[in-house]
């Protein structure tokens, strides 16, 4: 049975070479459109999330602000400022916090190595910065550790771009440089990373020193912000509510006053970015889907031609006892096979294009976002289902027409 189906199918293709090749090409083109759009959409979505995580991984940044609601007669416009002790208070009082650090910052810090001078934004934090802010060191270096903090060490961790500006091609780890006229030792250089969300500039141009060293040198009483990371994203709302409750109680402001203590929630941002990425994939799939549906019209057209050419043959089959489902199954098989044949060609070309783009390892400009397309199992599965539906619906109506033919009238057909 299967041998006869394949034999008749390929005989029809040979009789209608131009029409068949154009139809298969249309299906391949539609499949190519769907798969590539989904692949580049997935790659773009992943890049959006990766770029956001380049600034912080599941963290909440808490800033001191100004009161905007009258609370206990204290009026509005009152400054709220935090200290290092507040970070310790949060860690002691709130369960579910896995990492935390106070943060200081200073614009225009001067860096000098031999005759090279530059300025950048300098930040001060603790060892937890490495995980929270995804500041992972390149080979041969390290990030700040607890001893650096406890012993007020004059050590600095540099972004890769600022390190290159200062040291050029020279290996910087272990070298001494002057920061605002004071000697510091470089302990590490950050790995290159993608970063689309930032404050005070990208981390690639940032220098990080221990927060105790910063306080000891510059004498700051108040920190710039607090950074905390929940042990799980499920604890996010609980931890934010507890932080608000504790700080509102300590500094006497209304817990509903968002301006008194602004928060930058990276967990919410990540969720929003993933929703945007999913929406983008759905939109791109819709565009490709309609392209593939147009190709499906071509499949239906060629199936009607095949049915017309086989009118006498179908009449003979029905006259000698062929059942209705035999006629329908044969036409449906050929329609589905055409769809899958074109789809297979389109998927093969898609894999080739995606692998070529990935191997080019694009890093600059738009390539940073579009240079990592990904053909997911989900994309292949959805495309396969669509091809099957196109084959079924494109062959169903011609098949019903063939099955409803009168054997006598079919045998008279010229």
Query: What is the residue-wise DSSP string for 189-205?
Result: EBPP------SSS-GGG
Cα angle 312-314-315, degrees, rounded to a multiple of 5: 60
26 with 294: CB under 8 angstroms? Answer: yes
Please report which confidence band the pLDDT of residue 323 belongs to, taking 50, 70 and 90 as the band edges. low
| Cβ contacts of 350 within 8 Å, gap of 6 or more | 31, 32, 35, 36, 39, 375
Model confidence over 89-120: pLDDT tens digits?
999 999 899 999 999 999 989 999 988 999 99
Cα angle 258-261-266, degrees, rounded to a multiple of 5: 90
| Cβ contacts of 283 within 8 Å, gap of 6 or more | 41
Residue whose C-alpha is closest to residue 190's, from 168, 205, 212 = 205
- E strand or H helix at 396: helix 377-403
Most confident region among 4-8, 122-126, 303-307 by mean pLDDT: 122-126
Model confidence over 268-320: pLDDT tens digits?
888 888 888 888 888 888 888 888 887 777 777 777 776 666 666 666 666 66
Please report which confidence band the pLDDT of residue 5 belongs to, taking 50, 70 and 90 as the band edges. low
- E strand or H helix at 125: strand 116-125
Residue whose C-alpha is closest to residue 277's, from 92, 51, 112 = 51
Q: What is the dihedral of CA 354, 357, 361, 362, to 10 degrees?
A: -130
377 with 42: CB under 8 angstroms? Answer: no
392 with 71: CB under 8 angstroms? Answer: no
342 with 28: CB under 8 angstroms? Answer: yes
The β-bridge relationship of strands 116-125 and 207-210 is parallel
Q: State yes or no: pLDDT of 7 exceeds 70.
A: no
Cα angle 403-407-411, degrees, rounded to a multiple of 5: 120
The β-bridge relationship of strands 155-158 and 182-189 is parallel
Cα–Cα distance between 215 and 294 in angstroms, integer? 67
Mean pLDDT computed over every residue of the chain: 83
Residue located via tokens 């905390």: 228
Q: State yes or no: pLDDT of 79 exceeds 60.
A: yes
- 224 CB neighbour count, 10 Å cutoff: 20
Please report which confidence band the pLDDT of residue 143 belongs to, taking 50, 70 and 90 as the band edges. very high
The pair of structure tokens assigned to 173 is 């780890």
- Percent of the chain scored above 70 by pLDDT? 84
- Mean pLDDT, to the nearest integer, of 112-130? 92
Cα–Cα distance between 105 and 52 in angstroms, integer? 21
Residue whose C-alpha is closest to residue 107's, from 177, 173, 199, 30 = 199
| Cβ contacts of 95 within 8 Å, gap of 6 or more | none
């Amino acid at each position: 049975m299967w041998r006869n189906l394949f034999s008749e199918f390929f005989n029809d293709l040979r009789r209608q070479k131009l029409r068949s090749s154009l139809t298969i090409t249309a299906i391949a083109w539609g499949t190519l459109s769907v798969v590539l759009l989904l692949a580049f959409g997935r790659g773009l979505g992943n890049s959006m999330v990766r770029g956001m995580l380049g600034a912080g991984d599941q963290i909440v940044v808490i800033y001191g602000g100004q009161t905007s609601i009258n609370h206990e007669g204290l009026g509005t416009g009152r400054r709220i400022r935090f200290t290092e002790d507040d970070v310790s208070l949060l860690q002691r009082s709130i369960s579910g916090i896995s990492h935390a650090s106070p943060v200081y910052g200073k614009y225009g810090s001067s860096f000098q190595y031999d005759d090279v001078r530059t300025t950048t934004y300098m930040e001060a934090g603790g060892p937890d910065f490495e995980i929270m802010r995804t500041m992972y060191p390149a080979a041969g270096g390290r990030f700040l550790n607890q001893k650096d903090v406890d012993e007020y060490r004059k050590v600095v961790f540099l972004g890769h771009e600022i390190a290159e500006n200062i040291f050029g091609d020279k290996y910087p780890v272990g070298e001494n440089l002057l920061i605002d006229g004071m000697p510091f030792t470089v302990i590490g250089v950050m790995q290159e990373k993608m970063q689309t969300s930032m404050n005070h500039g990208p981390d690639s141009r940032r220098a990080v020193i221990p927060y105790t060293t910063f306080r000891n040198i510059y004498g700051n009483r108040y920190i710039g912000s607090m950074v905390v990371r929940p042990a799980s994203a499920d604890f996010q709302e609980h931890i934010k509510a507890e932080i608000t409750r504790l700080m509102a109680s300590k500094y006497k402001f209304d817990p509903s006053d968002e301006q008194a203590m602004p928060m930058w929630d990276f967990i919410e941002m990540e969720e929003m970015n993933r929703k945007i990425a999913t929406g983008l994939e759905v939109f791109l799939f819709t565009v490709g889907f309609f392209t593939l549906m147009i190709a499906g019209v071509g499949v239906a057209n060629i199936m009607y031609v095949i049915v017309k050419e086989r009118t006498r043959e179908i009449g003979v089959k029905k006259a000698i006892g062929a059942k209705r489902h035999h006629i329908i199954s044969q036409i449906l098989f050929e329609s589905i096979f055409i769809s899958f044949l074109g789809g297979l060609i389109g998927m093969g070309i898609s894999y080739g294009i995606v692998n070529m783009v990935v191997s080019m390892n694009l890093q600059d400009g738009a390539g940073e976002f579009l240079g990592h397309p990904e053909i997911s199992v989900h994309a292949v599965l959805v495309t396969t289902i669509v091809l099957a539906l196109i084959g079924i619906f494109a062959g169903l109506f011609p098949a019903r027409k063939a099955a409803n033919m009168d054997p006598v009238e079919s045998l008279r057909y010229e």
